[in-house]
Amino acid sequence: MSKGLPKRSEDYSLWYNELVKRADLAENSAVRGCMVIKPYGYAIWEKMQATLDEMFKDTGHSNAYFPLFIPKSYLSKEADHVEGFAKECAVVTHYRLKNDENGNGVVVDPDAKLEEELIVRPTSETVIWNSYKNWIQSYRDLPLLINQWANVVRWEMRTRLFLRTAEFLWQEGHTAHATRQEAIDETVQMMNVYATFAEEYLALPVLKGVKTESERFAGAEDTYCIEALMQDGKALQAGTSHFLGQNFAKAFDVKFANKEGGAMEYVWGTSWGVSTRLMGALIMAHSDDNGLVLPPKLAPFQVVIVPIFRSEEQLAEISEVANKIKADLKKFGISVKYDDRDTHKPGWKFAEYELKGTPVRIAIGPKDLENGTVEVARRDLLEKNVMPMDDDFAQNISVLLDNIQDTIYQKALKYREEHSFKADSYDEFKKIISSEAGGFVYAHWDGTAETEEKIKNETKATIRCIPIDQVEEEGKCVYSGAPSKGRVVFAKAY
């Protein structure tokens, strides 16, 4: 039992905030809205990065890096884009400080005012398309498939660790294509990459869909997304992939000579991203009142070995066994931490690794040495078993880790299924949305922004997406009664 971790059922937000801090993932920084990602939290992010990066490379993308600062004028080149981001941009106006004449430390030097102010990127479409203008001349230069790992800044009014911070880490893919269809295919492909990553690594089932006009990325023609359900019944947008049409090509005059006689055409663009928000998704989807529950594929270490000993001699004997186990597991690609510190007691360590979500804990004590066994505990189900230390041991642990990964996923899937509902009247709709349990509500919608807006104002629920696998079905909008050809997904969202 972790000492005083708040209960999810009592205060979900408090539980989340405390868990992030106590599990040593991140903490608030001196700067409002920003966070310090601590080594344990960053290790998880690094695993996400490594996996995603490989998936991007496998689909033909290359990494590059574009600058943090964007000339203010760039942002205004695409009308919707500036509209969407203007209100949350940090702006650099000066480039020098000087000593205050009254001895109050340093002050901004008014003589060092920038000719053109720079904004700290909230996203990089504009700088990148400004470069693409020079990189693309002919159909031979296409497709251009670039990704960058970067930080961005959005001056948010209200922030929460990982879920919404003023500065966050992410990757942003930016591609350019010769045809509309190719760009759409790319957009869909990357949504699918995200969905695969979420399901296979985060152990998090997601809905794939398209955003409505009002939820769409500023400057996109279509925004595809993956939406996940958290344990408090609220939806979390876990990744987005945008079909940009020719909007940025036109704004930055990016044209190519086509294959058919060299006529100049505007290129078609996409952009797509996932951020450190995925950390929030990971935490909120699986963890319990005892602490973090990490899927083995993303845990900084998958197995921890805790020795139980009284004397130095005993520790030496146990260490011999522990190190052999560690080596054996390593051969199966399993990452292991052997915690032989004598500064903390076993019970303390058990609680600690439970809080930090280590998938498997192996305890070895004197009794085990006698019996040729070890105690194996799995974090997800909080079950303990005594296992024989035989030739199959490493193999068995490997199977166990796979089983944990799958069990966590199935549990999340079951939760989502139990919290997915159909509503055919507005009363029914409101009842589900306002319930404690929350969840996804599939309902007919007349397709208008007005209705969407009214539902949002009245219930706080928004359309998370129009599912990609939406079934055709005649129906009536739950709000207006106007005809509809399929259900969309509503939920309260982060």
Partner RNA sequence: CGGGAUGUGGCGCAGUCCGGUAGCGCACCUGGUUUGGGACCAGGGGGUCCCAGGUUCGAAUCCUGGUAUCCCGACCA
Residues interacting with RNA, by CB under 7 A? 1-3, 13, 17, 28, 31-33, 84, 87-88, 154, 156-160, 163-166, 168, 215, 217-218, 237, 240, 275-277, 290, 308-311, 342, 345-348, 350-352, 354-355, 361, 363-369, 374-375, 377, 382, 384, 460, 493-494
CA angle centred on 51, ends 147 and 194, rounded to 5° = 65
Cα four-point dihedral sign 358, 55, 281, 428: negative
Q: Which is nearer to RNA, 423 or 461 (by Cβ)?
A: 461
Q: What is the smallest separation between the CB atom of 372 and RNA, expressed in angstroms?
A: 11
Q: What is the smallest separation between the CB atom of 293 and RNA, expressed in angstroms?
A: 13
The pair phi, psi for residue 101, each rounded to 5°, is: -65, -25
Q: Which is nearer to RNA, 127 or 161 (by Cβ)?
A: 161
Cβ contact 213:223 at 8 Å: no
Please give, one letter per residue, the 3-state secondary structure of 354-365: HHCCCCEEEEEC
Determine the Cα–Cα distance for residues 147 and 393; give it in Å rounded to an integer: 41
**446 conformational bin, left if phi > 0, alpha if psi -120 to 50, beta if neither:** alpha
Determine the Cα–Cα distance for residues 317 and 304; give it in Å rounded to an integer: 18
Q: Which is nearer to RNA, 153 or 254 (by Cβ)?
A: 153
Q: What is the smallest separation between the CB atom of 420 and RNA, expressed in angstroms?
A: 20
Distant-in-sequence, close-in-space partners of 351: CB < 8 Å, separation ≥ 6: 1, 2, 3
Q: What is the smallest separation between the CB atom of 360 and RNA, expressed in angstroms?
A: 11
Q: Which is nearer to RNA, 131 or 241 (by Cβ)?
A: 241
Q: Which is nearer to RNA, 188 or 374 (by Cβ)?
A: 374
The pair phi, psi for residue 175, each rounded to 5°, is: -125, 155
Residue 90, token pair as written in the block: 């940090």
Cβ contact 429:466 at 8 Å: no
